[in-house]
Structures are given as structure tokens and as C-alpha cells.
Structure 1
């Protein structure tokens, strides 16, 4: 089974530990971060979506011209354009980039960011809309003849996309709610989860597999997200992790310009299932399995705004990722706290170990289910 790595195609270097000092979208930084990932063993970069950020498709088009092989994952929210228009956008970008585009559909996890662009649809209904949107994209990319569609959210009358690319773009989605899993199982090529302990993750995969079977499909390719904190030794990695935690707590600014979320009011519960699960996980303890660490999920008001971390030596984190490979995961979505520097370190030292482990599985992976004390 091939294993791939997806990094950040962001427009500025800001993170929870690095304040924004320049523009929110710096084309030169986008070029540099994409090239760094391409040169150091990564397979994909993600261009995120937020109401106040750059157009991910335009950023990806710029990055495509500055790169050669890296795959372009382009986030998109169904509320911002008609699916027929989006089909043309992604088809054109896919063709001009040499077949490197996957559209990542986001139902929308934060009501305030949806409302900023006039979208007041409730959460479950947003997934219903996403499913209809995805089906229209797939039909537009593959139909040879004009088709007509009349659904709850969209209409098309004798539409045909004559400018179809030679191969269709990929389609990914994600989430943790039952409806998110149902929709992803029905329409997505790739389904993305946030990093949870192995047992909980295996349960999510089991649910997804059942929904895919009910939809008459095979299981989508599985992706999972973490924040890697790595070093040459475990002790050095944990020292780095505690320093990162201190920097996050010192800033206490909540989400930053490079993320597609916004601060929540203190004391308010997370709005989406993925963040609620992360909040419950963090409350259950800081350390799980080989290397999973939860303090990185906390943002403003103590609410989750980020993914869990994997902390350890290059070998430890590689083995932790191989535990998820054993669960069927093929794509790892990862970003550090110093975006380019961490991408280079991880690409040079951890990615080769994971590839080697996939090629020659080790009995060491059997230790991955062990739960570390908090």
C-alpha cells in the first residue's frame, strides 16, 4: 500500500507560535513552502480555505507554475460558488497543472466563518448540500452528454463541460460526525480524519467502511492529520514540545491567519463533532499510544482549533505513523509550528523511515497499541 504525505501550502508563516508580521497572502512564501515540500519528499500540499484568506484555487494555480510534481489539494466550500462553475475551475487547474489537483470539499466547521460569507445553513444540512455538490462535480467531470439536475440546493439545465481534462480531478472530504462519514463514504476518493488514539480511530474507520458498503462503494483512501514535533532523540523532541506549548500559552491568541478557523467565546462548546472529540480526548489525558500528545489542540477559551501532536524521535514518530498504516491509512496530513523548517526536517528524517517501514514491516509496530500514562 503506498503511503503519502500532505503538507501545508500556506500563504504566510504564521502559526500558533509564530505571529503574523507580513501580508496574509505572500506569493513568494507560497512558492517557497511548496518548493520545500516538493524537494524534501512530500507528495501533496493543501491550500486552505477561510472567509478572510486568499482564493485557494488561485494560490494553487500560482504554486503549480512554481513546482513540477507535487499534488495540489485545494480546499473549497460549496456555499461560495455553483458546482458547475467550480467544476470548470478545478478542471482547468487540473489540466494546466498536469493532472495534479484534488478538490477538498469543506462543509464548514465554524458558523461564524460561514456567516461571514452569507451562509446560514445548519450543520447537517451543510453536509447534505456537500453531497449534492460533490455528485454534480463528478458528473460534470465525466459526462459526455448534457445533463439536467434539479435538487434541493442546485439546478442545472442541459449542462455539459466540454473543457473536461484528460483525467478527472480527485475529490476529498473529511469530518467526524455520522453524517460526515456517510457523505464521505458515498462520494469521496479520500476521507480525512483528525488524529485520535488508535482504538478510537479504528472505530471511526469501521463506521466509514460500513457506510461505504451501504453506498455500494469501496472504502475511500484514508487520511489522518497530526502536528509532528520531532527531533533526533525522544528527550530532545519532548523538550521541543514543552517549549512549543509554552509559546502557545504565552501568545494565547487562538487561531492565526494561516488557519481556517476563528476564535470562539470562552466557555463555549465546540461546534463540530471533530473538535468535540478532540476536546474530550484532551480531557482524558495528555499522552496516548506511542507518541500522541493532546495539549496542541487547545485554542482560545480552551477550545480545540488544531490537531493532536505526535512527539518523539524520528524513529518513534515513524513507528507511530506505521501504527496508523496498519489501520489502513495511506495519507498523512502534517504541519509543524515553523512551517518550512519543520517540513524539511520531517521530510529528510521521518518520511524515509515510514517508507522503509511500509516496504519491510517490523514487529516493532505491534507495540503501538500501548497507552502511555498521562
Structure 2
């Protein structure tokens, strides 16, 4: 199993304005160290037109951690794939082999245009697939190589910096549309999607596996689910906490307190993100679903980004996590509402219980596919 956290350069979240500038070195250092100590395997660093550069944040945080991995979100289309391949190879060398990549094609046309990209989404996925193929070749090829494709023309690239990891860093992929799943199933090692109830998650995994078979994939895919755990000593206390968080988000949205965290996309009318559309359908089903699935926070954020929650005592949330593992989920991204405080709580109270529950249910050693050179 893999457990991923979330790394940000400041403390601004849906429930509070940031208290410092956009890059707070002390906060970044403490948040990375807290998740390293908590036992997270990796931390996701997000990507958007308003955000600090993820590779540079990871390089800084790597100097203050010993084992924590870094999952760098990247939107193809703004940096040449050969340049990006060298950036990640350099970061992998600096971090001692602790780098992975999270490829997102971009669910908001408006945010794509802010960085100058006007390509329609279906064509963006075609470009993304070509981008990833070039990156993998650059990471694994010694000697000059060429590429002549629809979106990229490369002639004689011959790099002198390679990732420490062999054969290459892992590639995660986000995309719930038909084009997104087809691309991810072909080029990625792991498919990441927002946390949904068990029935929808089972259907999503089945859908992705069927597409993977159609495109001729022979290696198994890993599946990552992203949720926002809300834990307390008892289920009742956790539910009260969830309701307080939801009320705070709603109050911030009504009061227009989102200017400094606008990158979260709440109210973005140009977003064509099928993952968020799926969450909005789920949100209409009720407040508390399955064992611990809570829709209140996702409703309050208009299903923007990672917004659904697992709510309950550590034992209840751990059992809910095990339910997802039984469906084939091989990793989880846990993002807090108070990133630093929640990361510490997850490490002290949640991750150890999850590991115990998985062991008791015989789920502590699922097959996690290794990255391949293909």
C-alpha cells in the first residue's frame, strides 16, 4: 500500500485564508517534515496557473526530509517534454530517487488559457499521451533519439542526466473522461481519481480495466483514491467536526473569501472536469453514504478538486479504507483541511490503525505494479 499526503507552500485552505505570503519556507519545511515523520510514502504537489512551481518546492523540501517521496503534478503543453524530462531527472538525482510525476491534462479551459493554451480538451489528451511517451524515452534512452509526432518534433536529443530510479520514476495520471481513461491506461502506471462511494469506485475501476484491455495493456494498473479524512475520537464527534468544516466553507464562499485561493476553481463555469461532474451526481444522493463517505464538503466546494471526505473515528475510517482496498485500490491520497495539523493527526491516529485493519483483513500486501520502461 501507498499513502500519499499533500504538500503546499502556505497554510491557505478552504477553511482559512493563508496567513503568510505565497511561499512560506518555514511552513513548507514543517509540513514536509511532519508528513515524513507521519509515515506517508509521497506527497502530491499541485499545479495551476496561479501556483508556485512544484519541482522547485520539492527540491527545497527534499533537503529537509529523509525518506518522503514527491509526486509532482504537471500539465503538458507549456513545457517541452525533453525539458520536463531533464527537470524531473535532476530532481530525482537531488532527492536520491524520491520523485514521481502526476500528469493532469487540465479540466478548466479558462485556466489553460491563462497560460496560453487554447487546445480543446480531446486534443489535449492526445498531446498528453505523446508528451508522456517522449518523457519516458528520454528517461530510459542513452544516445540520441528523434520523435516526429502530431504535437512534438524532437531531433537528436541526447541527455546527460537520468533519473536515479530504474527504469524510471512512476507516472500517475488523472482523467475520468473516455479520452482521459484511454490515454492513462496506455501510458501511466497508476490512475488517480477523486474519492467516490464504493459502488461508483467499483464501476470506475472496472471501466478503466476494460479500456486498458482494449488498448492492449498487459501490465496491471494501480489505482489511487483521493479523499479528505475528518477524524475524531468517536463517529459522532467526527460528524460534528465535518459539519463545522462544511459550514466554514459555505460561509467563506458566501462572503467571497476565495480571492487568494482562487486556484481551487470554485464557481469556475468553464470547468469541464468529468471527475467533478461525477462527484456532483454523488452529492445529490445524500450526506453520509456507505460506512463513512461524507458529501457535505464536496457540496460546499461545488465538487472542486479533492473535496469528498471520509468521516468517523480512526477505526471507522480505517475500515472504510479497507473496503476500498478490497475493490482493488492500491494507494490513497489523504489531504487535510488544516494541512499541518491534520497531517500530524493522520500519522499519530489514522495510518497506524489503517495498517492494523488491513493486516487483520488480510489486505496489507496488495500487488502494486512497478514502473516499466515501456
Asked whether the two chains share a fold, i.e. TM above 0.5, the reply is: yes
What residue in structure 2 maps to residue 174 of structure 1? Answer: 174
Q: Is the 8 A contact 1:104 1:172 kept in 2?
A: yes
Structure-to-structure mapping, 1:255-294, within 5 angstroms: 257=260, 260-264=263-267, 268=269, 270-294=271-295
CA distance in 1, matches of 2:133, 2:260: 32
What residue in structure 2 maps to residue 55 of structure 1? Answer: 53
Unaligned runs of 5+ in 1: 364-374
Secondary structure at the counterpart of residue 89 of structure 2: helix
CA distance in 2, matches of 1:290, 1:254: 33
Q: Is the 8 A contact 1:147 1:159 kept in 2?
A: yes
Shift in CA distance, 222/306, structure 1 to aligned 2, threshold 3 Å: closer
Q: Is the 8 A contact 1:11 1:29 kept in 2?
A: yes
What residue in structure 1 maps to residue 251 of structure 2? Answer: 250
Structure-to-structure mapping, 1:205-354, within 5 angstroms: 205-214=205-214, 215-252=216-253, 253=256, 257=260, 260-264=263-267, 268=269, 270-298=271-299, 302=302, 304-354=304-354
Equivalent of 1:103 in 93, 101, 104: 101
What residue in structure 1 maps to residue 161 of structure 2? Answer: 163
Q: How well do the aligned residues superpose, as a CA RMSD in angstroms? A: 1.8
Q: How many residues align?
A: 358
Residues 203-226 of structure 1, C-alpha deviations (whole Å, 9 max, x = no match): 111111122223323232110011
**Alpha-carbon deviation of 1:269?**
7.7
**Alpha-carbon deviation of 1:323?**
0.5
Q: Is the 8 A contact 1:75 1:105 kept in 2?
A: yes
Structure-to-structure mapping, 1:195-210, within 5 angstroms: 195-210=195-210
**Alpha-carbon deviation of 1:83?**
0.1
**Alpha-carbon deviation of 1:255?**
5.6
Secondary structure at the counterpart of residue 241 of structure 1: helix
Secondary structure at the counterpart of residue 250 of structure 1: helix
**Alpha-carbon deviation of 1:257?**
5.0
**Alpha-carbon deviation of 1:259?**
7.5
TM-score, L = length of structure 1: 0.91
**Runs of at least 4 residues of structure 1 off by over 3 A?**
253-261, 302-306
What residue in structure 2 maps to residue 46 of structure 1? Answer: 44
What residue in structure 1 maps to residue 33 of structure 2? Answer: 35
Q: Is the 8 A contact 1:103 1:170 kept in 2?
A: yes
Equivalent of 2:16 in 15, 18, 23: 18
**Alpha-carbon deviation of 1:240?**
0.4
Q: Is the 8 A contact 1:270 1:276 kept in 2?
A: no
Shift in CA distance, 258/164, structure 1 to aligned 2, threshold 3 Å: farther
Q: Is the 8 A contact 1:234 1:316 kept in 2?
A: yes
**Alpha-carbon deviation of 1:178?**
1.4
Shift in CA distance, 43/79, structure 1 to aligned 2, threshold 3 Å: same
**Alpha-carbon deviation of 1:106?**
1.1
Shift in CA distance, 257/223, structure 1 to aligned 2, threshold 3 Å: farther
CA distance in 2, matches of 1:272, 1:339: 25
TM-score, L = length of structure 2: 0.91
